[in-house]
Amino acid sequence: MTTLSPERQNADLLAGRGHIGDLPRPGTIDGTVNLPPDERAPLVLNNRSFHEITEIVCGYAENPLGKWWLPLLGMAATLVGVLQLMIGYLIITGVGVWGLTNQVDWAWDITNFVFWIGIGHAGTLISAILCLLKQKWRTAVNRSAEAMTIFAVICAGIFPGIHVGRIWFAWMLFPIPNSNWIWPNFRSPLLWDVFAVSTYATVSVLFWYMGMIPDFATLRDRADAEWRKGRRSIGLFFRAYVLGFLSLGWRMSSRHWHRYEKAYVLLAGVSTPLVLSVHSIVSFDFATSVLPGWHTTIFPPYFVAGAVFGGFAMVLLLLIPARELLPNFKDLLTIRHLENMSKILLVTGWMVGFAYMMEFFIAWYGGNEYEWSVFINNRVTPLWVDPHNGAPYWWAYWTMISCNVISPNLFWFRKMRQNPVTIWIVAMFVTVGMWFERFVIIVTSLHRSFLPGEWHMFHPTIVDILTFVGSCGLFLTLFLLFMRFLPVFPIAEIKAVTPQADPHGHHDDHAEGGH
């Protein structure tokens, strides 16, 4: 530890009395967050050359990731098996195996649907919006975040499909002409969900795939080079053939790069409004009803802010362990990246907290006693404070407040924003809190309706719980397969933010023979 103050260090550096590489750095700081104010933080550490970046990123997709990967994949795949069993049991038996009642006919399944849709939002936000804003730090996290979007939308799509009960009639959600002239109700927000989510999934897949085409070509060329060197195996041939098909004839020509960049920016422009529109439409499922607790105009911005908040938390939840487990990952995903995302969590956490407060204000200002009762008697007041009129689900509400509003405030402190363990713990709290947010909105509004005689509690069954756990296993399985077989970072974009990409910088890659 140095005894000099940061100001003194900066003064010495600016006066030419030292070099930043010579200064000791405390704790987990990797050198990207304590630079002098006149220096840009490096987005790639250890002065990696173009060749080294290619070797690092392609190495993740070409070689085993480590001894931890297969057991973890086995555990996640087991949970996928549990999910399949629960869905099969549901189809054979009916939705009576869930804890639904006549009053609480939306509960666990729709909570999970909205939760997973929210998780899927940060990927497109990081890639599309930050791309349009020309934020270079996105390059370290955008590929993983886009993958997370796809996998979360897959998990989300399961729940409305099985919620309909007769899953073999799920095709009737789509406006497909049929001989009976039976059409979906176009005025139903549930049908808007079908269009919004399917459009979002389609554009997200195209955006994700478009970004990977140059990397597929690099992996194809490397597989082809190995084949020509004499390392001939069925696996290598299969890899080269599949990658050649996925790379769409990419030859690294300037014409290809020009068209690629045009198409990528175009897709980013299309994706950006989708981030705002999809969760707004999901919020209409609730806002267009007349049920107290749902019938409010604040839901669209409230849901969008919450989705971004929960999505960024999931990105951190996935990438911080990957940063520890994969070699050289820390060179490409630095403390600076984690600190930037922590700041976004802090800002969106305050936006979510503001939305929680506005709900109370609207209920009070509107003068609707049923609305006010939902917030006071169904959510806030603990039973030990008022045993007769208290909220049975008060614990869920206060868990939500603790996780979503209180825990991100740790990021006011710089040391907390720069500590990966603290960031991961807060991200875990936020993820839990965002699930409880959806549970609170849905269940507390439904279990006590206008007539006290219709009041019922909701208790999840073991089928409910295992179905959700199984969906988490599906999400983790898909993400582990992504890390093993696809490029985790955009190779060309990572190279573009290195000093070597500067036309006025030094170039020594030719000597190393890499591209």
CA gap 315, 143 in Å, rounded: 11
DSSP SS3 for 66: coil
Tens of pLDDT along 189-242?
888 888 888 898 999 999 999 999 999 999 999 988 888 887 778 888 888 889
Neighbouring C-alpha atoms within 13 Å toward the C-beta of 441: 25
Q: What is the pLDDT of residue 37?
A: 57
First to last CA, the chain: 39
CA gap 343, 39 in Å, rounded: 20
Nearest-CA neighbor of 98 among 461, 454, 392?
461
Tens of pLDDT along 365-398?
988 888 999 999 889 999 888 888 889 999 999 9
161-169: long-range pairs with CB below 8 Å, 24+? 162/87, 162/90, 162/91, 162/109, 162/467, 163/95, 163/109, 163/110, 163/113, 165/94, 165/95, 167/91
CA gap 103, 289 in Å, rounded: 15
Nearest-CA neighbor of 271 among 123, 100, 134?
123
Q: Residue for token digits 């939705």?
A: 95
DSSP 304-325: HHHHHHHHHHHHHHHHHHHHHH
Q: What is the pLDDT of residue 497?
A: 84
- 422: its two tokens: 């603290």
Q: Is the entire prediction scored with pTM above 0.85?
A: yes
Nearest-CA neighbor of 434 among 269, 272, 314?
314
* Low-confidence stretches of the chain (pLDDT beneath 70): 1-40, 503-515
**448 to 105, 184, 376, 388: CA distances (angstroms):** 12, 30, 12, 14
Q: What share of the chain is helix, strand, coil (3-state, %, to 5)?
A: 70, 0, 30
Q: What is the pLDDT of residue 35?
A: 59
Structure-derived torsion over alpha carbons of residues 465, 466, 470, 476, reported in degrees to the nearest 10: 60
**332 to 31, 206, 219, 483, 494: CA distances (angstroms):** 13, 25, 19, 15, 8
CA gap 371, 360 in Å, rounded: 9
Q: What is the pLDDT of residue 82?
A: 96
Q: What is the pLDDT of residue 95?
A: 86
Nearest-CA neighbor of 247 among 46, 85, 81, 486?
486
Using a 10 angstrom Cβ sphere, with 0-12 exposed, 13-18 middle and 19 or more buried, the burial of residue 24 is: exposed
CA gap 317, 404 in Å, rounded: 15
**104 to 64, 190, 502: CA distances (angstroms):** 47, 17, 60
Q: What is the pLDDT of residue 17?
A: 47
Q: What is the pLDDT of residue 30?
A: 64
Q: Is the dihedral of CA 161, 164, 167, 173 positive or negative?
A: negative
Cβ–Cβ < 8 Å for 147, 483: no
- 41: its two tokens: 């933080």
Structure-derived torsion over alpha carbons of residues 327, 328, 334, 335, reported in degrees to the nearest 10: 50
Q: What is the pLDDT of residue 40?
A: 66
